[in-house]
Structure 1
Amino acid sequence: MKQQTETRRGLPFWLRGVAAAALLSLSAGVAHAEDSINVAGYAGATWDAITKDYLVPLKAKTGLDVKLVTEPNLAKLKAMVEAGRCEYEVIELSGSEFDIAKNSGWLQKIDYSIVDPENRMPAEAKDPYGFLFVTFSELIAYRADKFPNGGPKNMADFWDVKKFPGPRTLHDSVVPDLEFALLADGVKKEDLYKVLATDEGVDRAFKKLDEIKPSVVKFWTAGAEPIQMLANGEAAMAIAWNGRIKKLQDDGTDVVMVWQDANTDSSHYGIPKGCTNTKGAATYLNAWTNPEWAANWTKDIPYPGFVPGVTEQLDPALAKNLPTYPDNVKSAFFTDWSFWVKNREKLEARWKEWLLN
């Protein structure tokens, strides 16, 4: 799982046309043995953790060999499906990518009788065309030493520079900054996208952003930036990813996570249409429902799925700062990617113009 970046969270540029390179890269007649599958995902620390926590025990249990072969690319997925090829049986998809791939007909239905034979997983994890395997959140984090009497408790407080003075840093991303602004202005989380779907709602969000802009020392683009700014005191509070904040805490910096008004997002695994080793793909997805393996994964990478029985295996301090902790689920809002896929381009243009002014 690669942390969602500005590019991956947004409308992909490839919608204006499929790159020729993606078409040329498709090999003819790719076929894989039933005891092996290929995955389109991301190399690095995350795949290392997947290998240790899932693939090694899965191989021992089932004999299934899982290989990472390429990074996800929607243009290539589209071309692969249209050409009737299968270079990989499973693809990792961000929120916007999953919405597009699903509605474009590039994914096939998942056999949940194999993935979740005991029907233990909650419905929100089991879209017919995508298995939700990780969640992660952007939320408020503040330095405890800067606010000895207590720091901000919600987005309204984050915006209140008089009551909670100090430099801030926000994500340079229209998603979820517009939602954060509306929450700070009193909009209920269940009404966010209804309000944001109107011109008046968009104006309201940007007007609220005008209020805080002078106190934002930087609109960050890389997830490490707000963590560094909190660590060196350049920012008293920040919007940052929960996993990176956890690492900062582990390194000894006294920072507090605020789950009220957090934005939670997710990644799905999908099976490309036309791939025939669906049993192997479903067996891999089933591994992500194993509570013991999921607990080990969460200890390594604090971006869990909704696997029952995991919380009980975790240190309470870790469990209470996860997106899937029940109180945090109630306090946060989930990104509505069906809204953003339709509206991202025009709102992105306004966001960029606003940043420059």
Structure 2
Amino acid sequence: MKGLSRRNFLIAAAAGAAGAAVFPARGRAAERPFTFTSWGGALSNAEKDAFIDPFAKLKGIEVINTSPTETAKIKAMVSAGKVEWDLVDVGGRTVWQGAEQGFLEKLDMSKIPNASALDQGWVSPYGIATSTGATIIAWSKSAFPDGGPQSWADFWDVKRFAGPRGLYKYFYYNYEAALLAAGLKPSEVFPYTAEKADQALAKIKELKPNVTVWWGAGAQPPQLLSSGELAASSAWSGRMLAASKEGAPIDFTYKDGIAWANWWVIPKGTPYAAVANEAINFALDKLQQEKLLALKTYGPVLGSATAAADPETMKILVMAPKNIKDMLILNEEEANKYSIAYEEKWNQLMLG
């Protein structure tokens, strides 16, 4: 995992001190249970089983699990001084934005000693990665009984792999997939530049006539692939693994996948900040990280926990050496830059 640092996957430590928005002061002790919010589906289930429920039992507290995550809602809560979420699973871009805009608590690293065992690419002052997943290429077995696209170049090849496509509804993930489809090497995708972003948009515009679904919820790709509404789609690895376990007629590959982490953050102003820091530390304990292995959806962020997997489980872990060597590790700092800079152009492409 040393490559994470070389790729600047670290959320910058200095961000957030200057120019942060002014928000209401922290409220008094909450008159509600500690609340954990995540994306729903397989990820929420994994976090609940491996981390949240055992932590609640250990502390003897009541914890509410909610979903889905929404960055805009975190901002609104903090701005209004009515924070209802105490610990939230977010994408890395939100960590960066929260640091810059001041809507996240700075973590108390003295309460998170287990973070010292992580590659520092998984650690930032305003968020810490607790599990790993990926955006991958998935397909319907009925559409491609002999195997579907094995690269983003294949995914874009609608003659060889005919049928309707699904893509994420934001530029996020699509920037990386499009540039890989255009022939860039993983090492060339970052740092983001305007030239690369324009190239990605042009490549997506090329495929757009074949994209019948721009999905926003992780449950959509496996459902639409199972029903035959889509022949191939980008998808989140954990959702595909969960659906596959249930016998859905779908398949996928980690080749050319875009690896990322699930980051835990603390909304600014929560009265449970101390508990939230403790929960993060608990989730990074090796024994808790190893509990993810048996769930076979989202994998550990702790290298020693990944190494403890049996051979069959190792096949499905994003960070397993055999899988990660064929993948691109998402640079969240750069993804935040292009997402902001190209929001208007992306919306124009969607409307055009």
User: How does the TM-score come out when normalised to structure 1?
Assistant: 0.75
Residue in structure 2 matched with residue 162 of structure 1 by the alignment: 159
Give, as a single letter, the amino acid of the residue that structure 2 aligns with 1:135. Answer: T
Whether 1:38 and 2:34 are equivalent positions in the alignment is yes
Deviates more, 1:160-169 or 1:274-283: 274-283
- Which residue of 54, 58, 61 maps to 2:55? 58
Give the percent of matched residue pairs that are identical in Structure 1 and Structure 2. Answer: 27
Q: CA deviation at 1:306?
A: 0.8
Contact 2:27 2:271 in 1 (8 A): no
Deviates more, 1:283-292 or 1:272-281: 272-281
Residue in structure 2 matched with residue 251 of structure 1 by the alignment: 246
Deviation by residue 1:103-139 (Cα, 9 ceiling, x = unmatched): 2345454344542359322222222332211333211
Seen in structure 2, the aligned counterparts of structure 1 residues 122 and 161 have a Cα distance that, compared at 3 Å, is: same
User: How does the TM-score come out when normalised to structure 2?
Assistant: 0.76
Q: CA deviation at 1:175?
A: 1.3
Residue in structure 2 matched with residue 122 of structure 1 by the alignment: 119
Q: CA deviation at 1:189?
A: 2.1
Q: CA deviation at 1:184?
A: 0.4
Give, as a single letter, the amino acid of the residue that structure 1 aligns with 2:34. Answer: N
Give, as a single letter, the amino acid of the residue that structure 1 aligns with 2:225. Answer: L
Residue in structure 2 matched with residue 76 of structure 1 by the alignment: 77
Contact 2:34 2:272 in 1 (8 A): no
SS of 1:65's equivalent?
coil
Seen in structure 2, the aligned counterparts of structure 1 residues 277 and 241 have a Cα distance that, compared at 3 Å, is: closer
Q: CA deviation at 1:173?
A: 1.9
- 1: CA distance between counterparts of 2:97 and 2:139? 35
Residue in structure 1 matched with residue 175 of structure 2 by the alignment: 178
Residue in structure 2 matched with residue 189 of structure 1 by the alignment: 186
Residue in structure 1 matched with residue 320 of structure 2 by the alignment: 325
Deviation by residue 1:316-350 (Cα, 9 ceiling, x = unmatched): 44432233323333333343343344443452322
Q: CA deviation at 1:52?
A: 4.0
Contact 1:107 1:272 in 2 (8 A): yes
Contact 1:142 1:238 in 2 (8 A): yes
Contact 1:30 1:86 in 2 (8 A): no
Whether 1:94 and 2:94 are equivalent positions in the alignment is no
- Which residue of 218, 229, 237 maps to 2:213? 218
- 2: CA distance between counterparts of 1:348 and 1:191? 22
Q: CA deviation at 1:307?
A: 1.9
Contact 2:74 2:267 in 1 (8 A): no
- 2: CA distance between counterparts of 1:189 and 1:246? 24
Deviation by residue 1:201-241 (Cα, 9 ceiling, x = unmatched): 33322222233223333323333332222112232221111
- 2: CA distance between counterparts of 1:79 and 1:153? 47
Residue in structure 1 matched with residue 101 of structure 2 by the alignment: 104
Q: In angstroms, what is the RMSD of aligned CA positions?
A: 3.8
Give, as a single letter, the amino acid of the residue that structure 2 aligns with 1:354. Answer: L
Contact 1:133 1:288 in 2 (8 A): yes
Seen in structure 2, the aligned counterparts of structure 1 residues 254 and 350 have a Cα distance that, compared at 3 Å, is: same
- 2: CA distance between counterparts of 1:271 and 1:222? 23
Contact 1:168 1:238 in 2 (8 A): yes
- Which residue of 152, 174, 178 maps to 2:149? 152
Seen in structure 2, the aligned counterparts of structure 1 residues 157 and 50 have a Cα distance that, compared at 3 Å, is: closer
Give, as a single letter, the amino acid of the residue that structure 1 aligns with 2:248. Answer: T
SS of 1:163's equivalent?
coil
Higher Cα Rg, which structure: 1
- 2: CA distance between counterparts of 1:339 and 1:177? 13
Give, as a single letter, the amino acid of the residue that structure 1 aligns with 2:221. Answer: P
Contact 1:37 1:280 in 2 (8 A): no
Residue in structure 1 matched with residue 140 of structure 2 by the alignment: 143
SS of 2:172's equivalent?
helix
| Residues matched between the structures, number | 327
Q: CA deviation at 1:288?
A: 0.8
Contact 2:292 2:300 in 1 (8 A): no
Deviates more, 1:202-211 or 1:311-320: 311-320
SS of 2:303's equivalent?
coil
- 1: CA distance between counterparts of 2:288 and 2:345? 44
